[in-house]
Amino acid sequence: MIKMINAAKINSRTGITGIFGWPVEHSLSPLMHNAAISRAGLNYVYLPFQVKPDMLGHAVDSIRALNLRGVNITVPHKENVMRYLDDVSVEAEEIGAVNTVVNDGGILRGHNTDWKGFAMSLREHINPRGKSVFMLGCGGAAKAVFYALSKSGVKEITLSDTDGKKAEKLKKSVGTGHVKTVPVRESGSALESADIFINATPVGMNEKDGSPIEKKILRKGLFVYDVVYNRPTVLSRYAASAGAEYVNGLDMLVYQGAESFELWFGKKPDLKLIKKTVREGLK
């Protein structure tokens, strides 16, 4: 078993990090980060904070007021939090979203580690350079994924969303060529020429969800990356029956968390430990 935080070790010098979200009960980040903090021998705790959208500004002010070392930002705050920060990284500015805030002596700096987490997890399974990618879903999670793809040397990216305006907006967000959009009804034809399919929709997160795409359009040789990680999905079963390689977003969670950890503490966490921790947490 993973040894978790011991409340008896909390003292007057214990520092605080955490996560702002609404809701936040489902997050595995407290489990992951507290395990990493304990292993590194740091006098910190990582706490979940339920932050209603209309209280986000006050919550950000509390980072300074309470001298938190920093926080992760999750839905629905990744875009709106930027207005309350003193500075944001180039990557976060280009992506248009922040998932990590660092408190440097009262100066709050925003970063985006999601794109690095995706890029690292994808490269563990496939080299995207020269590949054609079809991504379904152009909401919050897709922004970081698209940014990472634009830096990866892919040959072509095709975007699709039930809201066509979102797809067009995402297409224009990063200055890269070889990007096009198609209506959702044309997903089948888009997948015919794709090497990689990315599900960036939330379809699959809930037990009663179906698949974001039809089973018949999956095929052997297609690489399927699903950002959903909290449960076995219908898409994962479809991919297996079609002979397509399937990977979920669990390692993306781990790697983005590791990048946040390093921003706060200046050291790398034990990756093997946090991978084991989140997998046990899902059980």
Which is catalytic among the residues 78, 116, 131, 143?
78
Q: Are 95 and 148 in contact (CB under 8 A)?
A: no
Name, in order, each residue with C-beta under 8 angstroms of 80's C-beta and a sequence gap of 6 or more: 53, 56
131 a catalytic residue: no
Quick one: angle between helices 140-150 and 114-123, nearest 10? 60
| Residues belonging to the active site | 78
